[in-house]
Amino acid sequence: VAELLADTQLEENRLAAEVILYADKICTDEEVVRLKSHIQHMRATLEEKEGIGRKLDFIAQEMNREANTILSKANDIEVSNHAISLKTEIEKIREQIQNIE
């Protein structure tokens, strides 16, 4: 980087701000936390006696939303592959939910 920027004036504060913005853009911590919360919510909902089909479908939609966001932020092939597998599993769950009233 230093070689490429040898003739360029670079403000350290500006570079630090850009690095922070990029790090925030690719960070998936929030999505993972929300995904874990949705999984816990789904487990609790499965313990309920009746009227859980729509609730489970909504939770699965939210889980899918988090997986989509993780996939869109992924900058690593391994993370991308895991996110695709996660989306596949969530879709299987959604198909099963369709059989629940």
- Does 41 map to a domain? yes
Per-residue pLDDT of the chain (101 residues; tens, 9 = 90+): 677 766 666 677 877 888 888 877 888 889 999 999 999 999 999 999 888 999 999 999 999 999 999 999 888 899 999 999 999 999 999 999 988 86
- Does 19 map to a domain? no
Predicted pLDDT of residue 50: 86
Predicted pLDDT of residue 17: 84
Number of domains in the chain: 1
Predicted pLDDT of residue 101: 66
How many other C-beta atoms are found inside a 10 Å radius of the C-beta of residue 97?
Answer: 19
Predicted pLDDT of residue 63: 97
Kindly list the distances between the CA atom of residue 74 and the CA atoms of 16, 25, 38, 87, in Å, as whole numbers in the listed order: 21, 10, 20, 14
How far apart CA 42 and CA 85 sit, in angstroms, is 19
Predicted pLDDT of residue 14: 78
- Does 20 map to a domain? no
State which residues form the domain around 53: 28-97
